[in-house]
């Protein structure tokens, strides 16, 4: 194994996770380079979402290591060799480095779009409210919502809510962004506006890890695709390679099912 290059943003080594005795992630290892867009695909229950949630520690994991920008994410080994969870203060600080966008948006319903986005900078970075709201306004403009600053989430469409959620994550100036099936809860006609924002982020050089069921999007968008099944990465490579010449029987079967159901 070669030492990680300087441009590696997310480093994952032998990540394993169990629910009780059931192992859901089996010694996953991969590096995500700066500005790379990595897309996770695989059947339901393969561990994609769990894997993604481990990266910013919404899920604890029992073995292995995740490093963001060189810093170990959730756990440290103390002098006696025992593995310990870091303090909540440390974990919160590290989480702020990784933006996360959820399938169900999870916007704060009692706050306007502007306040949703400004909350993190004010409460985590100690930014002055006025400054944070200027930042929030510029980010909301960037995702095409300059005219919705004072609107509460309940009055926004799903696509608009998801764009606010992206702006909220960007407000923390993350080193990488995680997207967990961000278009799955959207009406079909609203999917494009969210994907457009993601494309724009990619052009700006954002490092991204994406879980999706949108195969056409995955193929067009990813630098690299990871195919997961049963908690393992079975295959990975550029989209053309995985979709054009799948090596494993599992991936062949997975793609075949998709071709039967969808236009690919």
Which residues would be at the binding site for other proteins (CB under 8 A)?
A: 56, 58, 88-89, 92-93, 95-96, 98-100, 102, 104, 106-110, 119-120, 123-124, 152, 154-155, 165, 168-169, 171-172
CB of 106 to other proteins, least distance (A): 4
**Minimum CB distance to other proteins smaller for 179 or for 221:** 179
CB of 153 to other proteins, least distance (A): 8
C-alpha span between 101 and 195 (Å, rounded): 13
CB of 118 to other proteins, least distance (A): 11
CB of 183 to other proteins, least distance (A): 17
- For the chain, percent helix, then strand, then coil, each to nearest 5? 40, 25, 35
**Minimum CB distance to other proteins smaller for 27 or for 151:** 151
**Minimum CB distance to other proteins smaller for 88 or for 203:** 88
Closest CA to 202 of 21, 39, 76: 39
Angle ∠(134,193,110) on CA atoms, nearest 5: 50
Question: How far out from the chain centre does Cα 216 lie?
Answer: 18
**Minimum CB distance to other proteins smaller for 154 or for 205:** 154
Q: Residue 58 belongs to what H/E stretch? A: none
CB of 53 to other proteins, least distance (A): 8
Task: Tell me which DSSP letter residue 102 carries.
Answer: -
C-alpha span between 155 and 104 (Å, rounded): 15
Strand partners, 37: 208
**Minimum CB distance to other proteins smaller for 124 or for 190:** 124
């Amino acid at each position: 194994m070669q030492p990680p290059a300087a441009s590696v943003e997310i480093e994952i080594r032998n990540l394993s996770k169990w629910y009780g005795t059931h192992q859901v992630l089996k010694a996953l290892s991969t590096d995500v380079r700066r500005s790379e867009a990595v897309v996770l695909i695989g059947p339901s229950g393969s561990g994609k979402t769990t894997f993604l949630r481990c990266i910013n520690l919404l899920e604890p994991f029992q073995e292995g290591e995740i490093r963001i920008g060189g810093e170990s994410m959730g756990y440290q080994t103390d002098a006696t060799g025992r593995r310990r969870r870091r303090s909540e203060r440390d974990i919160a600080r590290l989480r702020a480095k990784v933006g996360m966008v959820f399938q169900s948006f999870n916007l704060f319903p009692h706050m306007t779009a502007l306040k949703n986005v400004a909350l993190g900078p004010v409460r985590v970075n100690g930014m002055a409210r006025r400054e944070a709201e200027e930042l929030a306004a510029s980010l909301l403009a960037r995702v095409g919502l300059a005219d919705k600053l004072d609107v509460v989430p309940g009055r926004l469409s799903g696509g608009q809510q998801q764009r606010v959620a992206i702006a909220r994550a960007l407000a923390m100036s993350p080193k990488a962004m995680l997207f967990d099936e961000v278009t799955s809860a959207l009406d079909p006609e609203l999917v494009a506006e969210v994907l457009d924002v993601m494309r724009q982020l990619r052009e700006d050089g954002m490092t991204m890890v994406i879980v999706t069921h949108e195969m056409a999007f995955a193929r067009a968008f990813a630098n690299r695709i990871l195919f997961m099944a049963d908690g393992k990465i079975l295959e990975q490579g550029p989209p053309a390679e995985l979709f054009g010449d799948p090596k494993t029987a599992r991936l062949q079967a997975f793609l075949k099912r998709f071709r039967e159901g969808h236009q690919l």
